[in-house]
Amino acid sequence: MSDIFEKEIRVIFEDDDILIISKPAGVTVNKAETTRHEITIQDWVEERFRSSGLEFNQEQGDFYNRGGIVHRLDKETSGVLILAKNPRSLEILQKQFKERVVEKEYIALSHDRVVPDRGEIKVPVGRLPWNRKRFGVVPGGRESVTYYKVINYYTYDKQTYSLLSLFPKTGRTHQIRVHLKYLGYPIFADFLYAGRKISKHDRKLLERVFLHAAKISFMHPRSGIRKVFECDLPSELKNVLDKFEMIN
Q: pLDDT at position 2, please? A: 47
Instruction: Return averaged pLDDT per consecutive 10 residues of the chain, 248 residues in all.
Output: 61 96 94 83 89 74 86 96 95 96 98 97 94 90 97 96 97 96 97 95 97 98 97 97 95
74 is catalytic: yes
Tell me the residue type at 23: K
CA 208, CA 229: separation in Å to the nearest integer? 23
Burial class (CB in 10 A: 0-12, 13-18, 19+), 214: buried
What is the pLDDT, as a whole number, of residue 5? 55
Q: Could you give the CA distance from residue 82 to residue 127 in angstroms, rounded to a whole number?
A: 26
Q: What are phi and psi of 61, to 5 degrees?
A: 60, -120
Assign 28 to helix, strand or coil.
coil
**Among 43, 74, 190, 202, the one annotated catalytic:** 74
Instruction: Catalogue all structural domains in the chain, each as residue range(s) with its CATH number.
Output: 1-99 (3.30.2350.10), 104-217+229-248 (3.30.2350.10)
DSSP collapsed to 3 states, 162-173: EEEEEEECCCCC
Cα 128 to Cα 136: distance, rounded to the nearest angstrom: 6
Beta-ladder partners of 21: 11, 81
CB 208 within 8 Å of CB 189? yes
Task: Provide the pLDDT for residue 75.
Answer: 94
Task: Report the chain's terminal Cα–Cα distance, integer Å.
Answer: 46
CB-based contacts of 197: which residues, under 8 Å, 6+ apart?
Answer: none
Residue 186: is it exposed, middle or buried by C-beta count within 10 angstroms (0-12/13-18/19+)? buried
How far is 145 from 171, CA to CA, in rounded Å? 9
